[in-house]
Structure 1
């Protein structure tokens, strides 16, 4: 991860909200042969006894499940909108282009849980993504016993105790004020990713340029 201070988000609340808004994360580690493995799953974060805990579930007997049983050190990457930024948008256009994006990296130790914890995780996950509608036929408590008996054996819940939480919110904070505002205006005419990044940049403009020369 690029470790540049001006590309860091200092607010823990902003980081927490970012994870909540982008729960479909990359869960990665290394297997017994030191080969990288990864999967993408919805992951939740909560505070418990002063610790940050990530939780979710995966299928058993996959390459990543076997790897995590062997090596419990994992990296979880939450990513958001991202967009190309042309150097031609700067006050000095003879500048390399770049990419603006937001990402949170969580390092930690994974452990697998028992059946009761899996039931609770599936209940939590299904309700969350069904907008907390307990009457939805797809939430855990409304699934048939025969279905659950068949498929619950194939998945396992996990928790990750976070040892390090890092982030990059690369939003042109290192550019001069003219360039910064020109980038915002250009991104407003781009696709959804560009417009989202432009909105994020606008939120930070007053803090970056308190004198408001433009």
Structure 2
């Protein structure tokens, strides 16, 4: 990922929080079939390894996992918020007009070797923890235990799990840090005025103007 110094985020705790906020990840790898990508939720175990370990699962029918040889690397990408930045929001537009549109976003990339597994107990633990994570905000959370055991066993046979110990982790927080305080405040105000909740979310992630 292209990573100018102004946008670089190296704080491990912050990067872990961003991964936990992400609802969906993109797993990319290259193998005998060429480049492949799969979109799926993943679970981060922070305490495993130097940078944490990611866990997820794919449908057994998905050919992507068959390209993962022992120890082959994969890239997992997380994007939690993004938005279009209009040059009309910059006070600099009125001063000299030398402004252009851009896009602000937060992105985290994790790379590491893939380990596949299909042990039923390990898969059950994974899908239970993933479900618990995403059901937690609900008033009446669903649990894997709510489904018939024989049905869950059948579903587990239809998936393949993976673990990815993170060997390299980097984050990019492109939030107008390269603009002067007046322009940053203009961007924040512009995003806050939008009726799109995604823009308002991005406004809340913007650093305060100096």
Q: TM-score range by the shorter chain?
A: 0.7 to 0.9
Contact preservation (8 Å) 1:84, 1:100: yes
Unaligned runs of 5+ in 1: 210-214
Contact preservation (8 Å) 2:112, 2:164: yes
Query: Which of 94, 97, 100 is 1:96 aligned to?
Result: 100
Q: Quick check: 1:165 aligned with 2:164?
A: no
**Number of aligned residue pairs:** 202
Contact preservation (8 Å) 1:29, 1:75: yes
Contact preservation (8 Å) 2:120, 2:157: no
Could you tell me how far apart the structure 2 residues matched to 1:15 and 1:88 are? Answer: 31
Could you tell me how far apart the structure 2 residues matched to 1:60 and 1:71 are? Answer: 19
For residues 52-63 of structure 1, the aligned pairs below 5 Å read: 52-63=52-63
Q: Which moved more, 1:8-17 or 1:62-71?
A: 62-71
Match of 1:205 in 2: 208
TM-score, length-normalised on structure 1?
Answer: 0.86
Match of 1:29 in 2: 29
RMSD: 2.0
Displaced runs of 4+ in structure 1, greater than 6 A?
none
Match of 1:64 in 2: 64
Match of 1:212 in 2: none
Unaligned runs of 5+ in 2: none
1:112 Cα deviation from its structure 2 partner? 1.1
Over 3 Å counting, the alpha-carbon distance change for 1:132 and 1:122 in structure 2 is farther
Contact preservation (8 Å) 1:73, 1:110: yes
Between 1 and 2, higher relative CO (CA 8 Å, sep ≥ 6) is seen in: 2
TM-score, length-normalised on structure 2?
Answer: 0.88
Match of 2:153 in 1: 149
